Structure 1
Amino acid sequence: MSEAVTRTVSAPPGLLASLDPLLREWLPRQRWFAGKGRPVTGFTPVSVTELLPPTATLGLYHLLVRARQPLAAGHGGQEQQPGDCYQLFIGVREALPPRLAPALIGHVTRGPLAGRTVYEALHDTRPAELLLEALRTQARIGGLRFERDPRREIRSGLVPRLVTAEQSNSSVVYGDTYILKLLRRVVPGVNPDLELPLVLAREGGTRVPPPTAWLLADAGAGAPGPPAAEPYVLGVLQPYVQGATDGWELALRALAKCEDFLADARALGRATAEVHTALARALPTVSLGHPQLRSLVDGMTERLHAAVRAVAALRPYEAELRSAYTALEDLASEGYEWTAQRVHGDLHLGQCLRSPAGEWSLIDFEGEPARPLAERRMPQPAVRDVAGMLRSFDYAARSVDPPQADWAARCRAAYCTGYAETAGRDPRTEPVLLRAYETDKAVYEVLYEARHRPEWLPVPMAAVRRLAGSGAADPT
């Protein structure tokens, strides 16, 4: 592929229709599919791009499709509109070699690919190599735009490998040099997973790997109907932190060896504060007075009501949990104000990497994918990220038998101490705000675990009992 490739492509007619029955079965089984529990009734194309024309050995298609599903019970069985949009990489072969057996989607029986086998192409070396080469050369293929930071060169010829750990997206590592995160559930607009690391790179920070390249799609290219006003952010290429271990794994190792985690927790608090300070310096901050806090509290209360309706175990604690939110509104009505800024939005131990030299990095600024993009980009009190990390220490401590509540409490305190050393303010000096955000996070966790991992439900329920009974964010 030569420099600055621009290629106009058109997918064969009937391609999506021929894949439809296979994708209906395959898509709901994927970890990153958000509509579990409801059947897929069909697909609406957003864009269909031929990256490699199918030959006797290999073909490759890039799809953005909206999955049509019936709405939840109580909506009369009507189909969801417009439907979640997913990014798919479809490989085409005559037959799959044994190494690609786990990637099988199915065998096409009709349409332009009849008689061929289709599979998840990111498992395959050649399609993954093509993506890196397209980013390196800043290719334009149909409605896809492969862009990169002109100050950063991309090496070619690196061997790709798909990260097989369970993720809400997909990641490909190239050698030990880059990692390409490909978003699966996508929406048009500015995605904070690209936006915030770019901002932090301009600030000269070292706590977040700077974006090297990124993949965009002009929404609606090659599909019927007018295109969306903003492109889709589909993927981000960043330096790979060689030899790094994520905080969740490190915490579990420490627990297994009956070791404390205090030095790491404190250093992680300092790293979080560095990122918050840089974001507040680079992007606008706002003051949250009574009207803004009332809106925030209303959102928390609505999420609590929805969770209580769905999870019966929450009902005995509803009134006490709601008091965490009303206490915050009471302070706001007395004239208290808080500062809001851009934050990570979904911070936990798994979103933090420690290098072999002991330096901590923060990754994955996408926020909670289930929430609207506009909400994920809104300024929030920095304590929201702090609350997420405090809950993560609790999760780690309660994932072992017997649970180590004292271990979690010490780590939580060390994290807040480290944060205060860099930020100049201790999150524990705002207990009402911290309790409200930690309660909101625990309620979210209860609903998630009840739906997806019922065996984990006792972990957030223990936090619910503590938050409802103590009236404080931390028992220490």
Structure 2
Amino acid sequence: MGIDIEGLILDLPNQRWFGAKGKPIASWEIVDAAEGPGVDVAFALVRIRLEDEEEQLYSLPLMRTDEGWADAFDDVHRLRDICRWLVHNTTLEGDHGTFRLTGPGLDPEDPPGIDARPAGFEQTNTSMIVDDTYIVKFFRRVQVGPNPELELTRLLTNAGFEHIPPHVGEAVYEGSDEEGPERVDLLIATNYMKDSEEGWSFALRKLRDLYDEADPADAREDLPFLVEERSGELLRWIDQLGDVTADLHVTLAHEEPSPELEPEIHPEPLETTELKELGESVHEAVDRLIAVGLKELEEPVPAIEEKFARALEVSDAGLKIRAHNDYHLGQVLLTGRGWMILDFEGEPARSLEERRSKQSPFKDVAGMLRSFNYAATAVLFERGRPGSEEWERLQPWADEWERVARERFLAAYLTRAQTEGRFLPSDRETWTLLLDAYEIDKAVYEIEYERAHRPEWLRIPLRGLQNVLFREIE
């Protein structure tokens, strides 16, 4: 299929989802493309080469206009026909492979596609909401091999896991010769969770209420009771979130072979060598940060080394499983059916191999616990600057809420995980050491991110790191 998209390629660096910001494009080529039946809409796979010789692969949904081919998200209404292709299990033939669209969860008697609008909330992908019933996510920067978002959502749907928006359709490219990539996942369609609220915004809203009720006359010794009483609704939802998180891990840690669980999903022992590699990665990141002038990390180095040394001494670290791998309050929705977990794609900047790798379940747990710390402190930033009178007045409330939220989440998580699963270490000291290791890893990652993007927020992960390092094991 011959298409001219040079103008669109030149505009790629201006797209939010472009993965090579600040790197000039040296050259590009269309790997394969195919036009849909009866409409001026097409798919294209494009490989770009950057001036530093890095190559990246992009999936572009296209539409024909009077001026030529353009990104179809310039007029998302034109993409409604993709839903019809999904319903009818359509195959589009390219020069070097096929674009296969299937919709196992869609009803041919009642096909979607009356209305479509952009979702408008992504940075690394683009999505459209169809008929207020389905959401279709188009992966933009793609890699050869199964995308974990599609892979795990499909698997969990087939396994009957109730706390995700169910998978209803997908599009996959399959190469038929050496010119075309072997397999590239292009999009996923799921149910759209309308009338829902993101976990992050829900937590911030409830924390604002808690801080509004903080009375200077309240005695410090009464804080545990007051925080539990005044944030009871939020804490009850955190109880449920801990339970749902454990349910996710129980499902993904299914140890018996089954049609729903592919071989790459089955759990394996978490080896000491992997914990050693985690510690080395943290050490390298800390060294980088100190080298660029972050002297606040010099003092904690011995404590970090001690934490990982103790983690390496454990005799049974439990199992590693396929997990979420980018888990925080922004990845869960509160709906009329309880919590729904979103976005299993992993951190987009990481390789596909890393995003599909098996991890200790404590990686997800640590991510959510760090998110509680961020939520409590984010609302403090709304009330004043660090060191201000208002900040100092509310800091004890933030600390106490985070302590209780951690405690409640972990209690609910461990109750379900240890009752229904066999993937965690059995003794408290061991799992605490492992959780500390993954929290340190997450906090150091956050420190690198905040230093580069939000220096004023550096104090959040720095303080969080201190809390982990000097927390006593009960």
TM-score in terms of structure 2 length: 0.79
- The equivalent position to 1:144 in structure 2, one of 74, 77, 99, is 99
Note the C-alpha offset of 1:367. Answer: 1.2
- Hey, what does 2:402 align to over in structure 1? 408
2:324 is the counterpart of 1:344: yes
Partner of 2:163: 207
Computed over aligned residues only, the root mean square deviation of the Cα atoms, in angstroms, reads 2.9
In structure 1, the partner of 2:208 is 256
How many Å apart are 1:250 and its aligned residue?
0.5
- Rounded to whole Å, the distance in 2 between the matches of 1:356 and 1:61 is 37
Amino acid in the other structure paired with 1:297:
G
Q: SS where residue 167 of structure 2 aligns? A: coil
* 1:245 aligned partner, one-letter code: E
**Matching residue of 1:193:** 149
Cα distance between partner residues in 1 of 2:247 and 2:158 = 14
Structure 1 position 361, deviation (Å): 1.2
Aligned counterpart, 2:32: 47
Quote how far apart the aligned CAs of 1:326 are. 5.3
CA distance in 2, matches of 1:348, 1:226: 39
Inter-partner Cα distance in structure 2 for 1:419 and 1:198: 24
Pairing 1:372-383 to 2, within 5 Å after superposition: 372-383=351-362
Name 2:219's counterpart in structure 1. none
Aligned to 2:258: none
Contact 1:307/1:443 (8 A) holds in 2: no
CA contact (8 A) 1:52 1:61 kept: no
Change (3 A) 1:318 1:235: farther
Q: Indicate whether 1:297 and 2:279 are aligned.
A: yes
Residue 334 and residue 246 in structure 1: after superposition, are their counterparts in 2 closer, same or farther (change >3 A)? Answer: closer
TM-aligned CA distance change 1:84 to 1:306, over 3 Å: farther
Counterpart for residue 80 of structure 1: 53
Task: Establish whether residue 23 from structure 1 lines up as the match of residue 23 from structure 2.
Answer: no
Report the Cα distance in structure 1 between the residues aligned to 2:21 and 2:459, rounded to whole angstroms. Answer: 22
Give me the whole-angstrom Cα distance separating, in 1, the residues matched to 2:276 and 2:269.
13
TM-aligned CA distance change 1:50 to 1:302, over 3 Å: farther
Counterpart amino acid of residue 293 in structure 1: L
219 and 423 in structure 1: CA distance in 2 versus 1, 3 angstrom threshold = same
What is the distance in 2 between the residues matched to 1:86 and 1:344? 23
> Distance between the aligned counterparts of 1:131 and 1:253, measured in 2?
37
State the secondary structure of the residue aligned to 2:467. helix
The change in CA–CA distance for 1:325 and 1:215 in structure 2 (over 3 A counts) is farther
Which of these residues, 43, 46, 51, is aligned with residue 62 of structure 1? 43
Which amino acid is the alignment partner of residue 161 of structure 1?
Answer: R
2:241 to 263, 268, 277: 268
Shift of 1:355: 0.9
Match of 2:293 in 1: 312
Cα gap change, 1:248/1:322 in structure 2, threshold over 3 Å: closer, same or farther? farther
CA distance in 2: counterparts of 1:156 and 1:305, whole angstroms: 53
Which runs of 4 or more aligned residues in structure 1 lie more than 6 Å from their structure 2 counterparts after TM superposition?
Answer: 425-428
**Residue 330 and residue 46 in structure 1: after superposition, are their counterparts in 2 closer, same or farther (change >3 A)?**
farther
Q: 2:463 is matched with which residue?
A: 462
Q: Provide Cα deviations, 1:215-253, integer angstroms capped at 9, x if missing partner.
A: 1112588xxx63333x11111111112211110111111
Task: State yes or no: 1:242 paired with 2:211.
Answer: no
Distance 1:472 1:147, change over 3 A: farther
2:60 partner amino acid? L
Is 2:146–2:185's contact at 8 Å kept on the other side of the alignment? yes
- Aligned-residue offset at 1:148: 2.5
Deviation at 1:129, TM superposition (A): 0.2
Q: 1:181 to 1:334 in 2, by over 3 A?
A: closer
Alignment match, 1:434: 435
Q: Which amino acid aligns with 2:28?
A: F
1:438 CA displacement? 1.1
Partner of 2:446 in structure 1? 445
C-alpha distance in 2 between matches for 1:304 and 1:292: 18
Q: Which residue of 2 aligns with 1:124?
A: 75
Pairs aligned (count): 417
